[in-house]
Amino acid sequence: MNMPDVSVLIVSFNTRERLRQCLTSIPAAGGAASLEIIAVDNNSGDGSADMLASDFPAVRLLRSPVNLGFANANMRAAESAGGRYLLLLNPDALLPPGAIEAAVQHMDASPDVGMAGGRLLGEDGGDQPSARMFPTLMTEFFNLSGLAWRYPKSRWFGHFDRTWADPGVASEVDWVPGAFAIVRGDLARRIGLFDPRFFLYYEEVDLCRRIRQAGYRVMYWPDLRIMHVAANPRKPWSTWSSPPAARN
């Protein structure tokens, strides 16, 4: 059996309708890339797992009897993933046509990149934090004090979320969120994906630290435009253009 280009890993907890729309967007996003989709249901109570089993039989469904959290559930999915790349994808993300194919093209053209993310946009089209720097005690203070929000264009106060940067410019960054992040499969199998001690939040920070320590870069590619919603999506995205050809 040939190795798929991408293993799409999705962790769901009570996200039935968002999950349905996410999965519906994946085939067109894959383009010419070969995909396998592995979904872990964290003991949802809203029928997410049954919906997935009945409506998306091609998806490999792993039912957990307990809520494993984001890190451990992704680790379970990764155990059976055979793709050249692993794509971490939130169930509340919608992918435009060609997005996964473009991500693969980027990674194939950049062998020194271990993990990369795209431009996360809300339903209103506004930018969400998509390319971030490692947290420090100082950046935590700026966030908690409101200084980061008050002075977003300051390289000092806006350091953590890079709010001073042009979101349309590709950049090497410290870490990218796991709502949409592509990782080299062989690298993830060598250094491990997530630390199982994390339940939720900051597991991507730890992973990106280890990726950088292994000698790889972490990149933000804004031509990969991902709609990341906070509620059941209603906004049509059929007018989105396919991502342009990959470039370094």
Asked whether residue 58 is assigned to any structural domain, the reply reads yes
Q: Are residues 50 and 109 in the same domain?
A: yes
Distances (CA, A) of 206 to 95, 171, 200: 26, 19, 12
Q: Are residues 153 and 47 in the same domain?
A: no
Q: Check residue 123 and give its pLDDT.
A: 87
Asked whether residue 235 is assigned to any structural domain, the reply reads no
What is the CATH number for 17?
3.90.550.10
Per-residue pLDDT tens listing for the chain (248 residues): 588 999 999 999 999 999 999 999 999 999 999 999 999 999 999 999 999 999 999 999 999 999 988 888 988 899 989 999 999 999 999 999 999 999 999 999 999 999 999 999 998 888 887 887 666 566 565 566 665 567 666 564 555 566 667 788 899 998 898 899 999 999 999 988 765 665 455 678 888 899 999 999 999 999 999 999 863 333 333 333 333 333 33
Asked whether residue 138 is assigned to any structural domain, the reply reads yes
Domain count, the chain: 2
Tokens representing 117 are: 């993310």
225: nearest Cα among 67, 139, 99: 99
Q: Are residues 84 and 59 in the same domain?
A: yes
Q: Are residues 30 and 14 in the same domain?
A: yes
Q: Which residues span the domain enclosing 38?
A: 6-131+167-228
- Alpha carbon 112 to its chain's center: 19
Last residue of one domain, picked from the residues 164, 181, 215:
164
Mutual orientation of helices 99-109 and 16-30 as an angle, nearest 10°? 60
Neighbours of 175 (CB within 10 A): 24
